[in-house]
Structure 1
Amino acid sequence: MPRGRGRGRLRLRAALAALAFTVPVLLGAGPGGSGETIPLAGREPGERLDVTLTQVVDPASPADPAGPADAAAAQVDDRLVAVRFRLENTGSVVYADSPVSCAHLLDSTGRRFAALNTPTTAGAAFPDTVTLDPGGTAEGFVTFHLPDDAALAAVQFALNGGLADDVGQWSLS
């Protein structure tokens, strides 16, 4: 169940994780990025990250307008949305994961979109794998491909490729 309701924070037990992805609970923050930091635990002892949503760019332009992202968008009347995260390893072990597989975007109808590793003009994307020693930080964008009519509702982030029990959620509406 939600903890820290007024701060836009959602932490779920494993039994509720699937429900959270299909029936989002939307909390607090506004569009553009909340600046709120949510501490998240991974599945292994010592895995901990402080994750901050710092910026949302909607719509985002592909870094290479002639590239595959633009061709895909032209085929289905979609748009790109870029979301910037700051990650800080607050745990006691090395963090190595793909932020792209950790992030999901929810629209106002409850549809869930997986992140892509599509470069945009919004800023630098995360590399395929981010490796952080304890105390280390990284910042970058993940990109989502959404239908033009999709209204942004929330962004979620969970360690271990999105499979950890702790799920951070920021409201975008």
Structure 2
Amino acid sequence: MGDSLDLTGLEDGESLAVTVVKVVDPARAENDFSTPDAGKRFVAVQFRLKNTGTAAYSDSPSNGARLVDAQGQSFDPTYEDTAAGPGFPGSVTAAPGDSVLGFITFEVPVGSRIAKVQFTMSSGFAGDTGQWEVPAR
């Protein structure tokens, strides 16, 4: 983690330097109404997205984010926020040279050990996927 990976999107001029800043596992619910389902926990991943391209970045970052556990199971984000910090809004726009920072929250089984964080531009449809290893706790 902490490494910045250069990713490209589907459109000409779309590229980001993506960094996984931190993984909070488990992450506390933001309030009493946004608790994980029974047998599950929240994991919050903070991403920094720096627009290194020539086109504006406009997307929903959570659409392209995934967690993978040690057994190879993949988990999609949830729309809940956690006390780990501010999440990304539903849609993010960044001009060339600008950076955005935010958490994406996942709901995963209590017994799953998170092994990898993945991010793909263009709502997960670009051919370029970044992957970061999560050290065992």
Question: What TM-score do the two structures reach when normalised by structure 1?
Answer: 0.76
Aligned residue number for residue 113 of structure 2: 151
Aligned residue number for residue 111 of structure 1: 73
Instruction: Please list, as runs of the form range in 1=range in 2, the aligned pairs for 1:1-173 lying within 5 A after superposition.
Output: 34-64=1-31, 66-67=32-33, 69-70=34-35, 72-73=36-37, 76-173=38-135
Q: Deviations over 1:123-147 (max 9, x none)?
A: 0000001100111110000000000
Quote the Cα distance in structure 2 between the aligned partners of 1:36 and 1:117: 26
Q: Name segments (4+ residues, structure 1) moved above 6 Å.
A: none
Quote the Cα distance in structure 2 between the aligned partners of 1:116 and 1:98: 13
Q: Deviations over 1:8-61 (max 9, x none)?
A: xxxxxxxxxxxxxxxxxxxxxxxxxx1100000001110000000000000001
Quote the Cα distance in structure 2 between the aligned partners of 1:60 and 1:111: 20
Deviation at 1:163, TM superposition (A): 1.0
> Which ranges of structure 1 fall in alignment gaps of 5 or more residues?
1-33
Q: Deviations over 1:103-157 (max 9, x none)?
A: 0000011100011231110000000011001111100000000000001110000
More strand, by proportion: 2
More helix, by proportion: 1
Quote the Cα distance in structure 2 between the aligned partners of 1:88 and 1:37: 9
Quote the Cα distance in structure 1 between the aligned partners of 2:116 and 2:12: 28
Quote the Cα distance in structure 2 between the aligned partners of 1:81 and 1:105: 9
- The count of corresponding residues between Structure 1 and Structure 2 is 135
Supply the RMSD in Å over aligned alpha carbons.
0.8
> Which ranges of structure 2 fall in alignment gaps of 5 or more residues?
none
